[in-house]
Structure 1
Amino acid sequence: MNHPLPLAPPDASHGAISEAQLLDTQRAFDSVAPDYDGPRGNNELIQRMRAQLWDTVQRELPAGSRLLDLGCGTGLDAIEFARRGYGVLATDWSPQMVERTRARAAASALASQVATAHLGVQQLDRLSGEFDGIYSNFGPLNCAPDLATVARECARLLRPGGKLVFSVIGRLCPWELGHYAMRGRFRRAAVRWARKPMAVGMNRHVIWTRYYLPREFHGAFAAHFALASYRALSLFLPPPYLVEFYRRHERYCERLGRLDDRLGGWPFLRDMGDHFLIVMQRR
């Protein structure tokens, strides 16, 4: 079922992510590849969000479908989908992340179902073939220099009627606004509202990131893809970087998680949250 959404394409006049910034981002993820599937990149809150994408892909696409993973990280998603009966081409801009994925597939005896390629989201024109679905988890598309180009390439690679399932870092995260405002860090609280790429520190490196409202994000894809659904992720629950709060108040946060599950797809509420999970179908 399609949901109406006012279209507002991202404003490119505020600067695209440059080639030098892309290399900064690559170095940042290379630097954390050895331990990124540990607490740094896979704590309890991340695992909960990860499972929501898994289940959404499984609802949208039957087992046996061929999937393209944009920004595969260390391969946790690709391996899970292989276990669920999918074939996956796992891609990432970080060569170290791709190597971790390749090793994980071999160790899981799933190498026949998980192929890998060192490829950034800005390089999809180098791919050929046809996929049933394309997914991306935890914001690789926030690092794309040009979403409209990504959308065009996704449409080329996806069969008619195929699905996109993307987890994207959103603009409006109430937890983040409150967390930094209460500490008097008002400039940090407003980072997500910047219209230009923002430098996000990781492991003494920088990831260049742009943030989106759902309508801005879909606006870049609307020429090729109809909106099927979207929902908030980590709206009532704290974002993953506040996992220590979650651990101190786990029973309370579990109740917040149930609110996320129940209300995260409601109008207005679904426009907020640390991430949003959006499903689009090729026209």
Structure 2
Amino acid sequence: MTDLKQPPPDPTPPQWRRPRGVAPGTWQYLHQRTIAVHYDAFVADTPLCHLDDEFLAELFPRRETAGCRVADLGCGTGRSAIPLARRGYDVVAIDLSRPMLQNLMRRVTQEIPTDSQPDSPVGRIFPVQANLVELDSLADDSIDHTICMFSTLGMIQGRANRNAVLQHGRRMTRNGGRLVIHVHHRAAWFAEPGGMRRWLASAVKAWTRKDHEFGDHVYAYRGLSQMFLHRFSQREITTAVRQAGWTVDQVHRIAADGTGFLSRRPRLPSKIGGFIVVAQ
């Protein structure tokens, strides 16, 4: 566990220090203090964030007894972790971004009550600064449930590295525990300006270059020119989850505008913005 009171690291560390699975643009993102400071305001009106929150609230309702532990992979500033703690869950909040974790703990001191009642427990939040690909320091069977929301898995570069994240989650999670994971859909590109060109470019690069996988995308984001995101097909994400040792229970298709779930598969794949997968 990281001592968050230590002096902040160099905001622009050299690229050779990048850990496994971290793309060059993501390395910048992780160390941009201004992005962490304004993150909550930036996503406040994002429909997908509200959908995530509502889904997790239904899947993890208020507890009457303390002690259930949830690992939040890529916790950011606590958008999921803090509501879970309020509902009585202990949260192991894992992120590689020190600024994000520092803002998370500021929020904890302001928003988490300290007077927990026996019939309405308040959970604790344990911040851990770590690369999601390298979670060997966390013990086997030490977590009850694992979540990885808001396309955090897609920010990991390389299929082998993304699989390692899912395998760590399986190793850490006790039998009977859940995995909840959100990813963006590759075909949603077709509904975006220039999306067909990006889809074709990604397909060609995946065929001709070993360092590119179909669905990889580098784009400009909040002042950063090389932000990385991998977009999935439904088969790709469910296969990866199963190969990591999970049993897929539910696959929810998210509408392209992020406002809700689709009750059935649409005729146009571009109508699907992403997926939330629930596995045991």
Q: Deviation at 1:51?
A: 2.2
Per the alignment, do residues 161 and 270 of structure 1 end up closer, same or farther by CA in structure 2, a change over 3 Å counting?
farther
Aligned-pair Cα RMSD in Å: 3.0
Query: Which residue identity does 1:164 align to in structure 2?
Result: L
Q: Output the amino acid matched with 1:149.
A: A
The match for 1:163 is: 178
Are 2:59 and 1:37 aligned? no
CA-CA distance at 1:219 after TM superposition: 1.2
Q: Confirm whether residue 24 of structure 1 aligns to residue 35 of structure 2.
A: no
1:56 to 1:179, Cα distance in 2 relative to 1, 3 A: same
1:250 aligns with none
Question: Could you tell me how far 1:120 is from its partner in structure 2?
Answer: 2.2
> Structure 2: 5+ residue runs without aligned partners?
1-17, 115-122, 204-212
Shift of 1:75: 0.7
Write the letter of the residue equivalent to 2:108. Answer: A
Q: Percent identity?
A: 20
Amino acid corresponding to residue 141 of structure 1 in structure 2: L
Shift of the 202–24 alpha-carbon distance from structure 1 to 2, 3 Å rule, reads same
Change (3 A) 1:231 1:80: same
Q: Secondary structure at the match of 2:187?
A: coil
Q: What's the offset of the Cα at 1:110?
A: 5.2
Q: What letter matches 1:133 in structure 2?
A: H
Relative to structure 1, the CA distance from residue 226 to residue 269 in structure 2 (aligned partners, 3 Å threshold; closer, same or farther) is farther
What pairs with 1:1-283 in structure 2 (closer than 5 Å)? 19=20, 21-31=22-32, 32-38=35-41, 40-58=42-60, 64=66, 65-109=68-112, 113-128=124-139, 130-144=142-156, 145=158, 146-173=161-188, 176-180=189-193, 186-188=196-198, 195=214, 197-205=216-224, 206-223=226-243, 224-235=245-256, 238-239=257-258, 257=259, 260-261=260-261, 264-267=262-265, 273-281=272-280
Question: Greater share of helix residues, 1 or 2?
Answer: 1
Give the C-alpha shift of residue 20 in structure 1. Answer: 8.3
Unmatched 5+ stretches in structure 1: 1-16, 240-256
Count of residues in Structure 1 that have an aligned counterpart in Structure 2:
236
How far is 1:27 from its partner?
A: 1.9
8 A contact 1:90–1:115 mirrored in 2: yes
Shift of 1:270: 11
TM-score, normalisation: structure 2 = 0.73
CA shift for structure 1 position 55: 2.8
> Highest relative contact order (Cα 8 Å, sep 6+), 1 or 2?
1
Give 2:76's aligned amino acid. Answer: G
Q: Secondary structure at the match of 2:31?
A: helix
CA distance 1:191–1:139, shift in 2 (3 Å): farther
Q: Which amino acid aligns with 2:246?
A: F
Q: CA deviation at 1:156?
A: 1.0
- What secondary structure does 1:54 align onto? helix
Amino acid in structure 2 at the alignment position of 1:105: V
The alpha-carbon deviation at position 191 of structure 1 amounts to 6.8
